[in-house]
Amino acid sequence: MTAAIDPRPWYWASLPEEPLRLPLAGSASCDVGIVGGGIAGLSAALHLAQRGYRVTLLEAERIGWGASGRSGAQAIFGVAAGQDKLTALLGAANARRIWDMSVEALTLMRELIAQHRIDCDYVSGQMHVAIKPRQMAELQHWEQELHEVYGYRSVQFQDRTATRRLVASHRYIGGLLDTNSGHLHPLKYVRGLAAAAERHGCTLHEGSRVLRHERRDGTLHLVTAQGVLQCRHIVFAGNAWLGNTVPKLARRIMPVSTYIVATEPLGEATARSLLPDNTAVTDINWVLDYFRRSSDHRLLFGGRVSYSGLDPFNTAQATRQRMLNVFPQLKDTRIEHAWGGYVDITMNRAPDFGRLEPDVYYLHGFSGHGIALTGLAGKLVAETIAGAAERFDVLASIPHREFPGGPLRRPALVLAMLYFRLRDLLP
């Protein structure tokens, strides 16, 4: 009999369950109320607490429940929109400042891991790979731009032979390797940030879904089913999982479903044969594949998206087939875990930071580039609340549009994405 596939993210199955933090009950007060227990919210909580603020964080489910605890967990330079898009939107100077902050985000992530002794299986090395000749040209141009314009020297173009040494697949004809990027166990990282925040005096509540925020007699309140939190500032960091809690924000991002599978343990020798240097890999198709090794010698492979908001019936099988297109040598390998989650994309695929009111902030729209950048986002909003808003305001100046179509916006997006899927098929 074929073993059933576990629908839990492998990250969650690989760790013991933590005791539930108590929900918010009754009335409480703090300086800063944070909504969302992922990397952005926890980083904001930690950085604010280190500055002496009283911080309370409200998480609807469990810490790390959303994208932060279930993603592909590749920590990559830049933003999903790309530098050309940022330059067109903001000009060269501010686009460069955002680039520099994206690189700082990688450094900050490693500093947080070291300073707070977070054991999260961090490994250096990530590579974008080409399937077609036109993608090879894109990677070569990208390397030249990163070297000559941005002075970013940790990326090196890999020809077919070098790529084949790093990835045991005939599917790829070249790559762009970055030794400054990497990958990690995201739930371990999130839990480590939560523990650090609590050591610095933050209060974290789970099972505390925020229903709304309101201002009473000039004071902000976050309202849950069981309690009310009074605060001087609010930070919304729920991203795609925020839902309609803040209607103005719901129209600015689109939750896109993405899927990952984890194989059975392959054994160290087999795992090393697939990815000898333990490099994380992603291709540069619009509907992309991404994969890496786990610490217990599995292959973690993501490769499908759903813009309709529906979970396809054959998620595990379809993602497995994409995996076999890359590694046919795994044809007899079982899939043990298959799970999904939301990526919060914006219309222009650039991050969307801003203020709903002078004392109400939001951080979302990382569009698949969140592992490192969310940590910096939390630091930037902490800087802003403390009175130094310049860096936050550079990101907040990126112009954004709401997704058109109202209740029909998902069908409209599905139709729009067909163009990009067809483009992936072109030589």
How many CB atoms sit inside 10 A of residue 88's CB? 13
Domains of the chain with CATH codes:
21-401 (3.50.50.60)
Radius of gyration over every alpha carbon of the chain, rounded to an integer in angstroms: 21
Cβ-Cβ contacts under 8 Å for 243 (sequence gap 6 or more): 250
Q: How far apart are CA 235 and CA 63, in angstroms?
A: 16
Read off the pLDDT of each residue in 301-308 and give the average, rounded to a whole number: 72
Torsion over CA: 372, 35, 204, 14 (sign): negative
pLDDT of residue 311 exceeding 90, the answer is no
Torsion over CA: 43, 45, 46, 47 (sign): positive
Q: How far apart are CA 97 and CA 105, in angstroms?
A: 12
Per-residue pLDDT of 322-348, as tens digits, reads 999 999 999 999 999 999 888 888 989
pLDDT at 405: 60
Per-residue pLDDT of 348-357, as tens digits, reads 999 999 999 9
- Most confidently predicted of 41-55, 251-265, 296-310, 339-353: 41-55
Q: How far apart are CA 98 and CA 108, in angstroms?
A: 15
Helices and strands per DSSP (H, E), number in the chain: 13, 17
Q: Are 378 and 43 in contact (CB under 8 A)?
A: yes
Read off the pLDDT of each residue in 237-258 and give the average, rounded to a whole number: 87
pLDDT at 403: 80
Confidence of residue 418 (pLDDT cuts 50, 70, 90): very low
**Which residue is listed with tokens 């300073």?**
115
State the number of CA atoms in the 13 A half-sphere of 55 facing the CB.
Answer: 31
Q: How far apart are CA 259 and CA 73, in angstroms?
A: 13
User: What burial class does residue 367 get, using C-beta atoms within 10 Å of its C-beta: 0-12 exposed, 13-18 middle, 19+ buried?
Assistant: buried
Read off the pLDDT of each residue in 83-95 and give the average, rounded to a whole number: 96
Residue type for 181, please? S
Per-residue pLDDT of 77-86, as tens digits, reads 999 999 999 9
Q: How far apart are CA 103 and CA 76, in angstroms?
A: 9
pLDDT of residue 7 exceeding 50, the answer is yes
Confidence of residue 427 (pLDDT cuts 50, 70, 90): low
Cα 313 to Cα 24, 300, 334: the distances in Å are: 37, 20, 18
Q: Are 182 and 124 in contact (CB under 8 A)?
A: yes
Per-residue pLDDT of 105-164, as tens digits, reads 999 999 999 999 999 999 999 999 999 999 999 999 999 999 999 999 999 999 999 999
Q: 181 vs 407, which has greater pLDDT? A: 181
pLDDT of residue 424 exceeding 60, the answer is no
pLDDT at 251: 85
State the number of CA atoms in the 13 A half-sphere of 135 facing the CB.
Answer: 25
State the number of CA atoms in the 13 A half-sphere of 274 facing the CB.
Answer: 24
pLDDT at 414: 45
Q: How far apart are CA 298 and CA 294, in angstroms?
A: 5
pLDDT of residue 88 exceeding 90, the answer is yes
Q: Are 369 and 81 in contact (CB under 8 A)?
A: no
Q: How far apart are CA 309 and CA 328, in angstroms?
A: 30
Whole-structure pTM value: 0.93
Name which of 22, 17, 137 is nearest 69 in CA terms: 17
Q: What share of the chain is helix, strand, coil (3-state, %, to 5)?
A: 40, 25, 35
Q: How far apart are CA 221 and CA 214, in angstroms?
A: 5
Q: What is the chain's mean pLDDT, rounded?
A: 92
- Percent of the residues in the chain that have a pLDDT greater than 70, as a whole number: 92
Q: How far apart are CA 202 and CA 309, in angstroms?
A: 35
